[in-house]
Amino acid sequence: MNIFKRYILIIEDEKDIAEFIADEFQEEGFQVVMADNLKDALFKSNNQQFELILSDIQLKSGSGEDLIKHIKTNSKHINYKTPIVVTSAWLTKNLIHQVGQGIAYAFVKPFEIKQVMEKCLELVKSNEEIESI
């Protein structure tokens, strides 16, 4: 049994999708923290370190892009080194460009949860290995 809790922040304003994703991560042993708007996501990301942040880009209240900029433009931010994976129904050139600028990976909605989980677990493992060096 892993004595260290691993936390993930899921930012998704569609409740059914958020709960579905959360269930998958909980089955993998993660403690899930959820936010459904930018204000809540900013507060939570400013006050707790996460192993991974999974964010929708288009939220009903705010944008996942604003969250990414907030975290990745401040090298002293508690989650600066945390991998960020985004989901979007509208994959734009700007979003693709951001993959190299702070986003670890992007998935187009609708997505296959198995692929999302595999990529996210790979990113968490890779980040844990880097931090242990």
Q: Determine the residue type at 65.
A: E
| CATH topology (fold) of 6-127 | Rossmann fold (3.40.50)
Low-confidence stretches of the chain (pLDDT < 70) are: 1-4, 98-100, 130-133
C-alpha distances out from residue 106 to 3, 47, 85, 133, Å: 30, 25, 6, 27
- pLDDT, position 13: 93
pLDDT digits (tens, 9 = 90+) for 97-131: 765 678 899 898 889 999 999 999 999 998 877 66
The model's pTM is: 0.90
- pLDDT, position 94: 74
- Are the C-beta atoms of 10 and 84 separated by less than 8 Å? no
73-84 burial, b at 16+ Cβ within 10 Å, e below that, comes to eeeeeebeebbb
